Amino acid sequence: MAKNLAKHAGKEAVEKLGWWPAHRFLILRRLCQISIIVLFLLAPTINILQGNLSSSVLLDTVPLTDPLIFLQILFSGHIPELSAIFGVLIVVAFYALVSPRAFCAWVCPMNMVTDIAAWLKRKFEIKASYRWNNQLRYWLVAALLLGSALSGSLVWPWIDPVATLHRGLIFGIGMGWILVLLVFLMDLLLVDHAWCGHLCPLGATYGVIGQKSILRIKVVNREACTKCMDCYHVCPEPDVLRQPLKEGELKVMDKNCISCGRCIDVCPENVLAFTNRLTDKP
């Protein structure tokens, strides 16, 4: 079967499986992302989630700390508060167990912005102007930690589009919209999946944390694959699918997978599924 055009990705799945099966993980992710934003918004009246994505408190008891922020605190020479230490241990333990980069697909508000850019790119067949090495994000993590060590302060919060967007949605975005717009335009016009797939240091951090996590996307019916390419078209990290779809290990074990499940949604042949890598048979 000839590969489908990128702008038609998911169309065959809708026709064959129905609208809900072809969009279920996308809708569930949006509900999760929006619900988290709403909980932060309601913090003054409903005390469930207070603070921001860098440092928050769940149910007025459980601290949650951004691991990249925590690393910068350490490298800047400051001693973190006990609540921050407990908070980062909880966050790291959770994402280390759940799935690689689940934060990126199910929590991060910037994912909604980059997904819109990717959809428009496919819809209007906009070709990427440049190609970047997807290891740039790991070099950026190293640069941020070095910058924190040299300056004795946290570098990333000043230029972090994720935190800027989240603060903007909660408190009003102000001039922060410029930074968010730059990410959107970069994804739309310059590089395919520029932010999530190449630059985001927070995504890189969660990738390292979750590289041994339990939930994995697995090729459950490789023989049924028609090479329509729909999964590649919608995946923000398409390289993670190449090896499982071709030969060898059936599970997507690459730490760069964001566990969004969109590849499962758009596959009309049900080739892919979420599985538990500990109990699932090879």
pTM to 2 decimal places: 0.93
pLDDT at 282: 57
Q: Give the count of beta carbons closer than 10 Å to the beta carbon of residue 77.
A: 11
pLDDT at 2: 65
Cβ burial, residue 18 (10 Å; 0-12/13-18/19+): exposed
Per-residue pLDDT of the chain (282 residues; tens, 9 = 90+): 568 899 999 999 999 999 999 999 999 999 999 999 999 999 888 889 999 999 999 999 999 999 999 999 999 999 999 999 999 999 999 999 998 899 999 999 999 999 999 999 999 999 988 999 989 999 999 999 999 999 999 988 878 999 888 888 887 777 778 999 999 999 999 999 999 999 999 999 999 999 999 999 999 999 999 999 999 999 999 899 998 998 878 999 999 999 999 999 999 999 999 998 777 765
pLDDT at 172: 75
pLDDT at 240: 93
| Amino acid making up residue 156 | W
- Phi/psi of residue 65, each to 5°? -125, 135
The topology under which CATH files domain 6-26+215-276 is Alpha-Beta Plaits (3.30.70)
pLDDT at 249: 86
Query: Encoding tokens for residue 18?
Result: 């129905």
Residue ranges per structural domain of the chain: 6-26+215-276, 27-208
Cβ burial, residue 102 (10 Å; 0-12/13-18/19+): buried
